[in-house]
Amino acid sequence: MTAEDRRRAREVLDLQEGRGPLPVLDDAGARNLLASAHRIAVVGASSRPYRPSHGVFEYLRRAGYEVIPVNPNESSVLGVPAVATLDEAAALASGRIDIVDVFRQPAACPEVAEAAVRIGARALWLQIGVISWEAARIATAGGLAVVMDRCTAVDHRRLGR
């Protein structure tokens, strides 16, 4: 096991046991967030059906959310026009973006968190396997709720909305 593997395992364990350096939402908080949300920007949304972001995007649409794909490499996802940035998503949205749902590598997350704060989103949600305490710090300092290493679709089904 490499030093990076050990660090990652420690981060996951800290997160699971609630010992992270910043607060992240628990099940009750995630349930409330999903129940009150209307608009979700999916950063890293893909038009390729085999990608996890595609399946989550489709699930969230079917669940009744207004979902905006954010990916500079896509023109549309499931017929929804894609935008390159969260700033463009905010300009396109018919109201405030409630959740910024992130399918990106952890190293890219601090920049996404800064954009989420800038556009006035309510929450930063980092998908399964995505842990970035720096992004969580930025989001928390900007007044956003944070969910990390969890899937919006899985939690929506598991917790009920």
For residues 28-49, one letter each, b for 16 or more C-beta atoms within 10 angstroms of the residue's C-beta and e for the rest, the string is eebbebbeebebbbbbbbbbee
Domain region containing 150: 3-159
Using DSSP's 3-state secondary structure scheme, residue 81 falls into strand
pLDDT digits (tens, 9 = 90+) for 101-131: 999 999 999 999 999 999 999 999 999 999 9
Share of the chain above pLDDT 90, in %: 76
- Please say if the pLDDT value at position 8 is more than 80: no
- Rounded to two decimals, the pTM is 0.86
DSSP state of 122: S
Identify the CATH number of the domain in which residue 85 sits. Answer: 3.40.50.720
- The 10 Å Cβ neighbour count of residue 112 is 25
The pLDDT assigned to 35 comes to: 94
What's the number of domains the chain is made of? 1
- Within the chain, what is the greatest distance between any pair of CA atoms? 48
- Please say if the pLDDT value at position 95 is more than 90: no
